[in-house]
Amino acid sequence: MRARQRRPIAVDDAWFARLVHFSKLVERIQHIGGDVVECGVADGTSLAMLTSLLKAHGQARHVWGFDSWTGLPAPSGADLGNGSVAVSGMFSHSSTAKVRDELIAYGLTDDEIAETVTLVPGRFADTVPHHRSRIALLHVDADLYQSYSDCLANLWPQVEVAGIVAFDEYGEPDVWPGARRAVDEFLATQSPDEVELHHDEMSDKWWLIKNA
């Protein structure tokens, strides 16, 4: 079978910062059991980065990608503000086919994708409550308040001790106020010795370690 043509990857400073950030997170879970789960995949750039980094680090893990691939649902009041950009249907251009193309662009073969990546279409409220696996790294790129709340409430119990939960929008409270609010409300339910919140200055991304 002829190898599928790989398209070039658009590389800029933000891309490089995210790659370095994800690489550090993947290194941190080297000795932790469990899968990698991403909520909010869109066209698959982050998912492809994480999957290729797992391969580069020799970590044989399954990667789960949750997204509706039909665009954002209607934002709630928590998602609105002077600088917010959330609108219903945003990101509706994305598709599972584009995700697979992105994985190929990052060097994954069709066989590797079939063996290691599962894409789960649907609204988070309908899909993540049914997910069952040990999680070493959870990446939440869900944009909206209710989406963040659904993902954290349902998947946090499955995150392994010393596992990581990374947030894409937490550092942009003006743009994605609902994401910041949902994470802050979640953190308020945890005791200080249960979680450690960290900030990566290079990428301006936030992430936490589950201590108990």
Specify if 158 maps to a domain: yes
Specify if 2 maps to a domain: no
C-alpha 70: how far from chain center: 17
Specify if 146 maps to a domain: yes
Specify if 14 maps to a domain: no
Q: Which domain holds residue 184?
A: 34-210
**Counted domains in the chain:** 1
What pLDDT shows up at residue 105? 96
What pLDDT shows up at residue 2? 43
Specify if 88 maps to a domain: yes
Contact 166, 140 (CB under 8 A): yes
Specify if 18 maps to a domain: no
What pLDDT shows up at residue 159? 98
Angle at 126 between CA 155 and CA 206, to 5 degrees: 35
What pLDDT shows up at residue 12? 86
Each residue's pLDDT tens digit, 162-199: 999 999 999 999 999 999 999 999 999 999 899 999 99
Specify if 188 maps to a domain: yes
Q: How far apart are the C-alpha atoms of 46 and 40, rounded to whole Å?
A: 9
What pLDDT shows up at residue 9? 81
Q: How far apart are the C-alpha atoms of 49 and 176, rounded to whole Å?
A: 23
pLDDT tens over the chain, length 212 residues = 344 566 678 778 999 999 999 999 999 999 999 999 999 999 999 999 999 999 999 999 999 999 999 999 999 999 999 999 999 999 999 999 999 999 999 999 999 999 999 999 999 999 999 999 999 999 999 999 999 999 999 999 999 999 999 999 999 999 999 999 999 999 999 998 999 999 999 999 999 999 98
Cα dihedral 61, 203, 139, 159, rounded to 10, equals: 80
Core vs surface per residue 89-127: b (16+ CB within 10 A) or e: ebbeebbeebbbbbbbbbebeeeebeebbebbeeebeeb
- Can you give the CATH number for the domain in which 41 is found? 3.40.50.150
Specify if 101 maps to a domain: yes
Contact 131, 154 (CB under 8 A): yes
